[in-house]
A = this chain, B = another copy of it.
Amino acid sequence: MISDYPFLLVDIERCERNIADMAIKAKNAKLSFRPHFKTHQSRAIGRLFKKYGVDKITVSSIGMAEYFASDGWCDITIAFPFIPHTAERVNALAEKINLNLIFSSPRNLLAALDVISAKIGVFIEIDVGQNRSGILPEDTRTQALMLNLIADKSNFSFKGFLTHAGHSYSARGKSEIEKIHTEALTRLAKLRAFWKEQYPDIIISYGDTPTCSVADDFWGISEIRPGNFVFYDTMQLGIGSCNVSQIAAALIVPVVDVYPEKQKLIVHGGAVHLSKEKTAINGIDCYGLVSRFNNKVWDEPTPGAYVKSLSQEHGIIQYENGSLDDLKPGDLLAILPVHSCLTVDSMGAMYDFDGNVYDVLSKNNNHEA
């Protein structure tokens, strides 16, 4: 089936269930569902979303927009502030599909005015607390400045405000996530109210995986854009966004050596495969949870076992109570990655239980785009 280890295995059934659950939630809450495709970066996984009525998507780069446009997606938001050097490619793509860009400040917007000639949809990026990029929801003066610039460009069609409450990633548990969610929605509702008269059809675009997974109420929001939920991962488990049976991707690694006296084992699966992202599970920093693998599917994580450290190619697994003492070199284990987005990007390909390969765009292929 697969010729080389480690490889990234995807449970397509779980993946589809995750998609279905989120699509149903969006429908029930009367939200437009524009999932972020940066997690899977795969045309084949993307096609699964069509079964659940998805016809518009979010991406994080022009290369990713081109990649999915070439597979028939014709309504795409690039949810990354405009980058001047992409102007030519943006103009070309916007001739073919409905393309939305986001602008994070007047400065960022000014950089587009002279170089974007195609018709595009425009979002102003709002910062509801992540403190990364965008305008504060209360800063209506700067918003007005940007709206005036947008109104003067006949090929720019103002769509609304877009935000990513990425600070939800530092939450632990449902109540912390809901607190962030409620605060964000309150601030966005005021923003919407402020501009509603002038822009009655304003879109408020929102949605990271933690809030979209946990919350049921999305008052004032028009569309959600979660991405990570398609696979979830150990970080989302730690945040409280998912349970372990929703995690749909695992890195399959061969055991290289076992040190029962240290309750430690070495696998071939390192930072170049999993990425160096870590998260706290039960108060212990880890680079992934560890499951038995029976050559087809993976089990529930082994209690007390976790990836303690990573070198470039080595993974060091710590475990308790002899739970993995029986393993020997060549046996396979499944590691539930901390951040599936980064693991997918690192691996550059995925496999399903039937051995089918799912190509991934990944930034390596961007060089050829």
Write the residues of chain A forming the contact surface with B, with a CB cutoff of 8 angstroms: 3-5, 7, 38, 60-61, 63, 80-85, 104-105, 107-108, 111, 132-133, 166, 254, 256-259, 266, 268, 271-273, 275-277, 309, 311-314, 316, 328-330, 341-342, 345-349, 362-364, 366-367, 369
* CB–CB A257/B166 < 8 A: no
Shortest distance between the CB of A111 and any CB in chain B (Å): 4
* CB–CB B348/A266 < 8 A: no
Chain B residues with Cβ below 8 Å from A363 are: 272-273, 346-348
- Give the top 5 A-B pairs by smallest Cβ distance, nearest first: A84-B330, A348-B364, A111-B329, A276-B276, A272-B345
Chain B residue with Cβ nearest A62: B4
* CB–CB A330/B38 < 8 A: no
* CA gap between A140 and B3 in the complex, in Å: 37
Shortest distance between the CB of A80 and any CB in chain B (Å): 6
* CB–CB B348/A81 < 8 A: no
Shortest distance between the CB of A137 and any CB in chain B (Å): 16
Shortest distance between the CB of A107 and any CB in chain B (Å): 6
Given A256-B108, A257-B133, A266-B133, the answer on whether A366 and B4 have CB atoms closer than 8 Å is yes
Given A60-B313, A312-B341, the answer on whether A329 and B257 have CB atoms closer than 8 Å is no
Interface of A, secondary structure class, is mixed
* CB–CB A258/B107 < 8 A: yes
Further contacts, 18 of them, CB under 8 A, given A80-B268, A81-B266: A3-B367, A4-B369, A61-B313, A83-B329, A84-B254, A84-B329, A84-B330, A104-B256, A105-B259, A107-B328, A108-B257, A132-B266, A272-B362, A273-B363, A345-B346, A346-B346, A348-B363, A348-B367
Shortest distance between the CB of A132 and any CB in chain B (Å): 6
* CB–CB B107/A342 < 8 A: no
* CB–CB B38/A108 < 8 A: no
Chain B residues with Cβ below 8 Å from A367 are: 3-4, 7, 348-349
Chain B residue with Cβ nearest A125: B257
Chain B residue with Cβ nearest A103: B257
Chain B residues with Cβ below 8 Å from A104 are: 256-257, 266
Cross-interface CB contact of A364 among B107, B314, B349, B366, cutoff 8 Å: B349
* CA gap between A166 and B316 in the complex, in Å: 14
* CB–CB B347/A364 < 8 A: yes
* CB–CB B81/A342 < 8 A: no
Shortest distance between the CB of A166 and any CB in chain B (Å): 7
Chain B residue with Cβ nearest A367: B349
Most buried by B among A60, A166, A271, A272: A272
Shortest distance between the CB of A350 and any CB in chain B (Å): 11
Shortest distance between the CB of A183 and any CB in chain B (Å): 21
Shortest distance between the CB of A360 and any CB in chain B (Å): 9
